[in-house]
Amino acid sequence: MNKNIILYAALLIFGLAAPFIFPAFKVQLSILCVLIVLALTWNIQGGEMGYNTFGNILFYGLGMYLCASVQVGMFFPLAEWTESGGEKTFVHTPTQFFQGMAMGLIVAAVIPTIVAGLIGYSILGLRGHYFAICTLGLGVAAGEISGGIEIIGAGQGFTTPPFPDVGSLEARGEFFYFLSFMAVVLTFITVKSIYSTRFKLILNAIRDNEDKAEAMGIQTMKYKIIGWMISAFFCGLAGGIMGGLVGYIDSTDVAFDGREMGVFMVLMAILGGKGTLWGPVIGATVFHIFKEGFWTFFLGWQYVALGVLIVVIVIYFPEGIMGWLREKYPERFGEVVDEADRKAQVELK
Amino acid sequence: MDFLIFQVPMLTLQATLDGVLLGILFALIAYGMALQWGVMNIINIAQGDLVILGGYIAYFMYLWGIHPAWGVIVSPFIMYFVGVGIYKLVINKVVDRDLFISILATFGISILFMQLMNFAFGADVVLANSGYGTTMLFDNSVTLPNSKIFSAFISIIFAIGLVIYMKKSKLGRAIRATAQNARAAKILGVDTEKVYAATFGINAALCGVAGALISITFTIHPYMGLPYTIRSFMIVIVAGLGNLPGVAMSGMGLGVFEEFADYILGTEFRIGSVFLLLVLILVYRRFKLSRKREYLK
């Protein structure tokens, strides 16, 4: 226990000091924070509940659009803003910007939660691969449809309000870094606290055998929807932050980007080890470092690498890093190992 | 509702005919999907990308001065080996594992194919001009490109040919036996590994035919694969595995739906409405089954 507190304190201090230690990587670190949030929330469905969703991207994209729309719409007419495109006819004052951002993030988190609650009953009744394909369809449909709506920029995209001039050049990076770092801490605390309750056991029961869980008197549907709503809350928040960070929203390439973000979150959780608390965090970090390296040095081949990476991870490494560690050092995970049993296994190999 | 399409009966007829001809093509792709889903229990997200790859084969024949209609013969041959290659490299490692693993693995293949095609063939929207002309019906108010009629005709021939092949040939019987019970088939001397490879190859060949026809009739583009996957998935779940007339009917239904959605909602919502329809169909079936306390399996 004592060791854990030291670990968390060290991570927290590192997280707070990171933008000053690596000033050149502030944007990358912010993106890493968003990726960790997405991986952690995907893990609630895919890892703990056994519902492999491609549809969390829906909440992410929704949050992105909502945050930007609220931020603009609070002070200026939205339609004229999107029509003017890159040429800024309206400029946010710093106060307006931060007020709008705060309001936008609240909306970006709350509305996707409500949406998840509303569609949860219909969608979560599907199981297995039907659920996976249905959520895949949901994400792509959202992207295609939002690409046809005029007021949020349709096909040409939506420019989010530029960061106001507050005197310091570093302010923008630091603001978004601490915003996303706060989101990570909030997500991690929430996820960690729900993983130590009965709720997690219920999710695991649903994963292992849903019919049996239902027969035991658990209202599985209720818990599935609550789980999805928690995911949606943080996905929406992450989307809102990412929208401000990127500065430009496109329906299929940034917001409802099933080909990138939608797959990344699945891949990160699987790479780290699904069904564990630390797996998604480790997976997201490893994946982000790999991705950035590849994106920088092999520009153009990144999707080829991504495709190969997906196939390799899924086929040869489905247990992830945490699963591999667990097999290697079972004692660290609190598993009792019988020496004779282990010897027998080694001999078998 | 004052949509133009309901005021002009000829437009309705036009949309319906277009939809039916398009739907026959979809049904051919869906048939391939139903085949490998039924036999190997794999959902192939890369199905649409195989279609597009097949289309590019016909397109290149067109560029080299050969009539693209010959792509219907050449493309399946090449695609058969592509399919077997994919099977040997990836699919045989995911056959008897969790379905989600196969979805994710083929998703990876799909991304890989998309990008490789983008490198190799460029990101332009292309089509192979067949020069078949157009048939005018009803005093020139309904126009049907002959290439569409040609492609529907070829699709039907290939579908019927495959059904006969599955019924009569030795390999066809082995495939059907494996689909019924892979273990029993193995005991009785069927080399299931070979059967799986052949099934995936046949599926890819069907995609090749469909792709060649699509490159003649419509347009192809490296990133256009996923909608074809979703369409074929949708057709299969509506019709059910192994229900061939059902696949044909629901394929045509989907084609007609798309044409009407195109007219009523506008072209920018066409793909979106296909994906939305998938969600609606799945949700509808889920509620229908949940009354009996069952779920989609």
Q: What is the ipTM of this complex?
A: 0.82
- CA distance linking residue A255 with residue A264, whole number of Å: 14
Could you tell me if residue A233 is inside a domain?
A: yes
A269, A263 contact by CB (below 8 A): no
Contacts of A344 (CB under 8 A, 6+ apart): none
pLDDT of residue B4: 63
Residues of chain B with pLDDT > 70: what percent? Answer: 92
- Report which secondary-structure segment, H or E, holds A302: helix A302-316
- For chain A, which residues score pLDDT lower than 50? none
Domain coordinates in residue numbering, chain B = 23-242
Could you tell me if residue A335 is inside a domain?
A: no
Is the minimum CB–CB distance between B117 and chain A shorter than 8 Å?
A: no
Once rounded to an integer, what is the mean pLDDT over residues B188-210? 89
Shortest CA gap A185–chain B (Å):
29
Could you tell me if residue A139 is inside a domain?
A: yes
Write down the mean pLDDT value for chain B.
Answer: 83
Tell me the residue type at B107. F
DSSP state of B220: B
Could you tell me if residue A189 is inside a domain?
A: yes
Which residues from A are below 8 Å from B122, CB to CB?
A: none
β partners of residue B126: B220
Once rounded to an integer, what is the mean pLDDT over residues B99-113? 86
Note the pLDDT tens digit of each residue in B155-165. 888 888 888 98
B274, B285 contact by CB (below 8 A): no
Which chain A residue's Cα is nearest to B231?
A: A137
Could you tell me if residue A273 is inside a domain?
A: yes
- Tally A–B CB contacts below 8 A: 130
Which residues from B are below 8 Å from A307, CB to CB?
A: 108-113, 115
Once rounded to an integer, what is the mean pLDDT over residues B133-157? 77
Note the pLDDT tens digit of each residue in A171-220. 788 888 888 899 999 999 998 888 888 888 898 898 888 888 888 888 88
Kindly determine whether residue A127 and residue B295, on different chains, have CB atoms separated by under 8 Å. yes
| Token representation of residue B35 | 């085949």
Buried residues in A233-247 as b, exposed as e (16+ CB within 10 A):
bbbbbbbbbbbbbbe
pLDDT of residue A233: 92
Which residues from A are below 8 Å from B276, CB to CB?
A: 137, 141, 145
Could you tell me if residue A337 is inside a domain?
A: no
Once rounded to an integer, what is the mean pLDDT over residues B228-237? 87
Among A197-206, B43-52, B283-292, name the one with the lowest average pLDDT. Answer: B283-292
B261, B19 contact by CB (below 8 A): no
pLDDT of residue B18: 83
Shortest CA gap A318–chain B (Å):
8
Write down the pTM of the prediction: 0.85
Domain that holds residue A250: 25-318
How many folded domains does chain A comprise? Answer: 1
